[in-house]
Structure formats: C-alpha cells, structure tokens
Amino acid sequence: MLFSQLPEDVLYHVVSFLDHKSLCRLSQVCKSMHRFVNRDAVWRKIAKEFLNTGITRDGTDIYPHIPLKERVRTAQNWFNGVCKRASPLKWKTKLLPWLQLDGDILFLSQAANIGAYHLHQGTKRLLRNPFQIYSGHQGDVCRFAVTDSNLISGGSDGKILVHSRRNHVSLELSGHNQEVNCIDSKDGLIISGSRDRTVRIWTLTSSSPRDTIPMYDRVWSVAISPTLSSFATGTACCESFSPLLIWNVERSACVCSLGSEFRRGAGVLDIIFESPFQLFSCGYDTFIRLWDLRLSPRSCVMEWEEPHDSTLYCIQTDGNHMIASGSSYYGVVRLWDKRQTKCLQFFQLSSDPVSSPVYCLRFSSSHLYAALATALHSLDFKQSPVYIR
C-alpha cells in the first residue's frame, strides 16, 4: 500500500509529527498529497505555535476564510520583521488619532470626525477617501469603540455619541462635564471614563447613565470583560491607590485592585481583556503586564519592559503568542513573543525630527496599522514573503 493510500485518520496522525518545512516537502510528492497537506486540519497544530495565525489559545479561528498554510507563511514574516512600509494617509495638523479595525474596514478619528475607509479585499491597501464620515462632536474625538451595529465615540466636549452603522441616526449621551478619555462597548453595554474623575455605565435604551462611579482620579482607560459581568479601569495614578481596578457591572462595586507597588504618576493608558480571567495593561511605567484574576491580585503573572524606558500608549494581542505595542518616542512599534522576555522586532515609523507617540495600533493577519500625530502608517507582512521550503 502506498503512503497516500493510507486511511485519512492514519495520515492525519502521521503528519501531526511533521514540522512546517517537512509538510511542504511532503506536499510536493504527488497531487493527492498536495491536496491533503493543504487542508487546514493538517496545519492547525503548527499554526497555533506561530505568531498571529488567527488561532487563539482556546482554539478559536479568527480568520477562517484564509487558508492556514498561507497564514503560517505570513507568520514567518511577522517573526522575522519582513514587511513593506507605507504611509497611506497624512495630515498637516498634529492630532491624537484613534483606530479601530473591523474586517475590511478601518475607522480613523481625525479631530472631530471619524472616517470609515475600505481596505482592498486582497491587498488590504487603504482606499484614500472614506466612504462614511461620522461627526457631531464639538471638540476632538478622544476614543471610540466599534460594534456590529454602532460606532460609539467620546469627545473632548464631554459628550458620547452613538452612531448607527446601518443608517445616519445618532444618539447623544450626556453626563460627563470634561473630556471622555476612554470608552468601551459590548452587546449594548457602554463604559466611559473621563477627566472629570468618574466612570459611567450606560445602555443603549437610555440617554442617561445607568450608574456613575466616582474615581477620585482621572480615568485614562476602560475595558469590558468578554463575559460582560465586569470591567477594568486604568487611572492616572495621581492618588495613593492602585491605578488598575476591576469592577462588577451589576453592582457597580470594586471587586479588586491589581498590583501592590506603583509609582505616583504611572497611569494605565491601555487595557485589553484576552479572556474573562486574563488582561493586559500598559502605560507610563514602561511595562506591559499580564494579570490573571484567578490568582493573587497583588502581582502580575508576566511582564515585558520597554527597553528604551518609553511610555507605552497602546497594545494589542493576537489572542495567543503575540503582543504589539506602541511607544511614546519616534513612532516605535514593537512585536513581542509572550514566550520570551525580550522584544522580538521593532519598527521606527517616524522619520520626522519631532517625535510622535504611537497613539493607537491595530493589526490583522497580514497588516499592522499605526496612528501617529501627523500620519497613518501601515506595515504589510504579506509582501516579500518568506516561502516555506
């Protein structure tokens, strides 16, 4: 019996012991093996060990429409830092832009407006003219969140606007009396944080907040847990208590504070829940920290230090092994492998003599987009691919 004539369950067991290079050599043996090896089921185990292949720690596939073999190829470029750089958008006035990525649509705030830009389905190249502009704030947009049906923005005018993505209807939520520094939304729940030292809990059924929580410090970041039962807040750390707190949504009560050693002024600028029990934080103290809410809240599980002692403005993870961070000097973006303590790759996006932070970054399976003070930058990791041999 030929190898290719073995039962499929036996073939799957055999190829499970091969690495990515051996699999590609096997696919060159004959047409039947080529068809078999190109199946996603063959590559799933290998893809989970690579960076940003879309296979999360719990096994969820974020990009099921892209063949896994292709994603493993692109993952090698992420690991090796092989990419093509571009600046698809530039503007003259210095801004504090924010980004959100939803499939083939990139949302970018510029001053008081938020533009929705199509990404070319194949190349992911940004089309320069927005197909939709969301407006209504009397000041700059500070942060915004995107859901399937709405875009929720917080502005320096203290207002929160809920824009429908299906029509041109907007709902105004008024409650904060200073700029809304941060906002998050999931399944009709909205959490906002402001310079006015309050956090407010909203629902889409009312224009008034469901609850207001006094924070006694400026709120820089908020994040809602995937279970919707809790949320995290990050403050400026100007007072004598932890800047990172976990709250119960229903009771509006503090569940716990994270960390025991913190420097005054070392505020938390970004928070991401990777699971109901694990979250990442970063900020002025130059560290990315991973917290596990099932363990002692006094210390983090792991931490990664920005090597140039720069403030970390933003982070994003792939749900598995990779972290991307944006720092405060010269537009530096770093890629981290959680299995290592040192930075894996870094990219200095800004060539201007005047330094600009990376205010926000977002990435897909093949591209990373970063917003600086005067330009939107993109890194295309699908270009110049490292072919599997």
Q: What is the pLDDT of residues 50-61, one digit of tens each?
A: 999 999 998 899
CATH (domain of 140): 2.130.10.10
Residue 365 located in a structural domain: yes
Percent of the chain with pLDDT over 70: 91
DSSP state at residue 61 = B
- Distance CA(88)–CA(367), nearest Å, equals 13
Percent of the chain with pLDDT over 90: 68
**Is 137 in the same domain as 217?**
yes
Which residue, 78, 110, 132, sits at the end of a domain?
Answer: 78
User: CB burial class (10 A; 0-12, 13-18, 19+) of residue 160?
Assistant: buried
Range of the domain at 51: 8-78
DSSP state at residue 220 = E
* pLDDT tens per residue across span 54-88: 999 988 999 999 998 899 999 999 999 999 999 99
**Is 123 in the same domain as 237?**
yes
Confidence at 386, pLDDT banded by 50, 70, 90: very low
* pLDDT tens per residue across span 265-317: 789 999 999 999 999 999 999 999 999 999 999 899 999 999 988 999 999 99
Confidence at 389, pLDDT banded by 50, 70, 90: very low
**Is 334 in the same domain as 188?**
yes
Residue 117 located in a structural domain: yes
Residue 305 located in a structural domain: yes
**Is 95 in the same domain as 68?**
no
> Contact, 286 vs 266, CB < 8 A?
no
**Is 29 in the same domain as 150?**
no
**Is 332 in the same domain as 261?**
yes
Confidence at 21, pLDDT banded by 50, 70, 90: confident
> Contact, 309 vs 286, CB < 8 A?
yes
Residue 389 located in a structural domain: no
Q: What's the pLDDT at 29?
A: 65
**Is 339 in the same domain as 194?**
yes
* pLDDT tens per residue across span 137-156: 999 999 999 999 999 999 99
- Distance CA(349)–CA(332), nearest Å, equals 6
Q: What's the pLDDT at 96?
A: 94
Confidence at 346, pLDDT banded by 50, 70, 90: very high
Q: What's the pLDDT at 3?
A: 60
Closest CA to 72 of 49, 59, 53, 45: 53
Q: What's the pLDDT at 252?
A: 93
Residue 280 located in a structural domain: yes
**Helix count and strand count (H, E) for the chain:** 5, 28
* pLDDT tens per residue across span 113-135: 999 999 987 777 888 899 999 99
**Is 209 in the same domain as 296?**
yes
Residue 1 located in a structural domain: no
Which residue, 78, 107, 131, sits at the end of a domain?
Answer: 78
DSSP bridge pairs for 114: 109, 134
Q: What's the pLDDT at 388?
A: 45
Average pLDDT, the chain: 89
DSSP bridge pairs for 273: 279
**Is 177 in the same domain as 325?**
yes
Q: Taking 80 as the threshold, does the pLDDT of residue 22 lie above it?
A: no
Q: What's the pLDDT at 387?
A: 46
**Is 72 in the same domain as 102?**
no
Q: Are strands 343-348 and 332-337 parallel, antiparallel or unpaired?
A: antiparallel
Residue 388 located in a structural domain: no
Query: Higher confidence at residue 8 or residue 368?
Result: 368
φ and ψ at residue 87, rounded to 5 degrees: -125, 85
> Contact, 326 vs 361, CB < 8 A?
yes
Neighbours of 103 (CB within 10 A): 9
- Distance CA(88)–CA(99), nearest Å, equals 14
Q: How many domains does the chain have?
A: 2
pTM: 0.91
Cβ neighbours for 205, distance < 8 A, ≥ 6 positions apart? 188
Q: Taking 70 as the threshold, does the pLDDT of residue 353 lie above it?
A: no
Residue 385 located in a structural domain: no
Q: Are strands 132-134 and 198-203 parallel, antiparallel or unpaired?
A: unpaired
**Is 307 in the same domain as 371?**
yes
Confidence at 6, pLDDT banded by 50, 70, 90: low
Which residue, 32, 48, 78, sits at the end of a domain?
Answer: 78
Cα distances (Å, whole numbers) of residue 354 to 99, 126, 216, 369, 378: 22, 26, 34, 20, 20
Confidence at 8, pLDDT banded by 50, 70, 90: low
**Is 175 in the same domain as 193?**
yes
Residue in this structure with the two tokens 């043996």, named with its chain if needed:
29
At 257, list the tokens.
Answer: 């504070």
Cα distances (Å, whole numbers) of residue 304 to 121, 338, 339: 34, 8, 11
φ and ψ at residue 26, rounded to 5 degrees: -65, -35
Cα distances (Å, whole numbers) of residue 135 to 168, 179, 194: 10, 16, 20
* pLDDT tens per residue across span 89-105: 999 899 999 999 999 99
